[in-house]
A and B are shown apart, each in its own frame.
Chain A
Amino acid sequence: MNQNENKNAIIRLFHVHRSYGNKRALQDITLDVAKNEFIFISGPSGAGKTTLLKLLYLGERVNEGQVLVDGINLSRINKKSIPDLRRKFGIIFQDYKLISTKTVYDNIALVLEAVGHNRSQIPFKVRSVLRTVGMEEQINSYPPTLSGGEQQRVAFARAVATDPKIILADEPTGNLDNESAAIIMDLLIRFHTRGATIIVATHDMELIRKKGGRVLILKEGCIYSILFQESPRKLRR
């Protein structure tokens, strides 16, 4: 794989294959994601969207092909370097994955502590990031007492607290009402404008239409098409 082909790419997939037993989850995926790009991965359930995201942070490994993240070839990465790779990502899940026995504060503080953030700065950082997502008042609440939208905002705050280069969002609005979904999308856009690369896996075409941008459509593990959706603002213009 020639790494000079696209110097602006932060993520590169080259003829990637992934299967579970006889079932092929991804087939021959080749894709470049540029720095500070906002890209959607879409397609029906079981198309391979989540698998594709997992390959990026080594939640799973490819069977064939190569994946490069910020210049690191994931096929050659050693086990000790995996945490460093994962620190490049902020990951948002459909089911939030918040720790129910810890408060909102502790959920975020734990992550900051885990990545070696300056201990004395953690309380300020937690408050700051919660303020950004509008959840500062719920700082001492436990996740099960929050609504789905609120939990997703906390999960978002946790994902961006470490200032990651890349934000991966796997069906971030899948369990949310329209209003909450709009808030999450606004937050994603805000962090995109701050310089983060955003990859959103979703089957919600309405969400894609509202934001616009490059869309990778997967079907049965293969790239069905790559299209560019004009944003409504551009369309109006």
Chain B
Amino acid sequence: MTSYLKRAIKDIRDNAFVSSVTIITVGLLVLMISTFILFWDNAGRIMEDWRKGIRIMAYLKTDIADEAIDVLMKKIQETEGVNEVRFISKQQALELLKEHMDHPGSILDSLEGNPLPNAFEIMTASGSDDNALTLQQVEALAINIKTYSEVDQVEYGQQWLKRFYSIFDLFRLVGFAMGGIFVLAAILIIANTIRLVIYTRQDELQVMRLVGAYDKFIKIPFYLQGVIQAGLGSSIGILILYAGYAYLVSSVEKGFLMIDFYFLSLKAWLFIIASSMLLGMLGCFLSLTKYLKD
């Protein structure tokens, strides 16, 4: 294997121009794909953050005894998917309302008594948890809470949530579709680049076949070249992306967008490089199989 590796490295050096074209092509493809993955990953993370702790408000009927409120609070607390339950008395609600209104005096002073009901603020399992609730589960939880006789009304931003989840689902679908297209394009481009390499070296392949070289003698160095070139190209692509990311993050004032950006994890780096190497080998396999068929 060492001799094949030596030959592969020597062939890369001997065919410096074509090898450079292959490495640059792979580098650009990986840069394109990993930029997309980086964007998708961060956008997904932001959306997950938004999903964190969907809040259900359960408004209670009037004249419910304090003991009954405590029992109900305990029951809701023990329900699956509920993280935290907070009781908001009608007085607290009124004070909160006053705090949030710019000029509360004129309207609230004209009210006779406190029209607001007692309520529970129910925080569901957050988006970062494994047991984070889906929209359907939030709906089911709200319906369940509504069945209690003490509860008058339940609200959880139904319209907004539905729209958000449909956007999130669309985002994921588009992400997968584009990812698939990118990967397919990468396979085709790498396979064609390698075909170009084989085309430029067909004299050499022909000579090797005519002198009686076994297929493995011809193929293995090509596979190794595919792997080395794809590995180099993908590493360069990721390094360029990292440089771009570092520049962007350092240029944007911290906290300006109220969002934390993250670079690809080491696992993702390794996955992209390993996948590129595999694609390089696959590209070689497709091209060589066609060439060495006869």
Contact = CB atoms under 8 A, between A and B. Distances in A.
Contact of B210 (A57, A100, A102, A106): A57
Interface string B216-232: 01000000000000000
Interface in B170-203: 203
Interface stretch (A44-52, A82-90, A180-188): A82-90
B204 A84 contact: no
Contacts of B14: 101-102, 106
Which of A85, A111, A162 is most buried by chain B, counting CB atoms within 10 A of its CB? Answer: A111
B3 A115 contact: no
A230 B214 CA distance: 41
A63 to B, nearest CB: 16
Interface residues of B, number: 17
Interface string B2-22: 010001000000110000000
B208 interface: yes
Contacts, number: 54
B211 interface: yes
B290 to A, nearest CB: 15
B79 to A, nearest CB: 69
Most buried by B among A91, A101, A102: A101
A85 B212 contact: yes
A190 interface: no
B208 A114 contact: yes
Contact of A91 (B15, B210, B214): B210
Nearest to A155: B207
A86 B211 contact: yes
Nearest to B217: A114
B207 A97 contact: yes
A123 B9 CA distance: 20
A155 to B, nearest CB: 10
A32 to B, nearest CB: 24
B3 A119 contact: yes
A106 B207 CA distance: 13
A111 B15 CA distance: 18
A114 B14 CA distance: 18
Contacts of A100: 203
Given A114-B217, A119-B3, A101 B15 contact: yes
A142 B206 CA distance: 19
A227 interface: no
Contacts of B204: 99, 101-102, 110
A59 interface: yes
B207 A111 contact: yes
A87 B3 contact: no
B213 interface: yes
A20 to B, nearest CB: 15
Given A101-B15, A110-B208, A114-B208, A83 B214 contact: yes
A114 B3 contact: no
Interface of A: 57, 59, 82-87, 89, 91, 97, 99-102, 106, 110-111, 113-115, 119, 158, 162
Interface of B: 3, 7, 14-15, 203-204, 206-215, 217
21 contacts: A59-B210, A82-B212, A83-B214, A83-B215, A86-B210, A86-B212, A89-B212, A97-B206, A99-B204, A100-B203, A101-B14, A101-B15, A102-B14, A113-B3, A113-B7, A113-B217, A114-B208, A114-B211, A115-B211, A115-B212, A162-B211
Which 6 interchain pairs have the tightest Cβ spacing? Answer: A114-B213, A86-B212, A87-B212, A83-B212, A99-B204, A111-B211
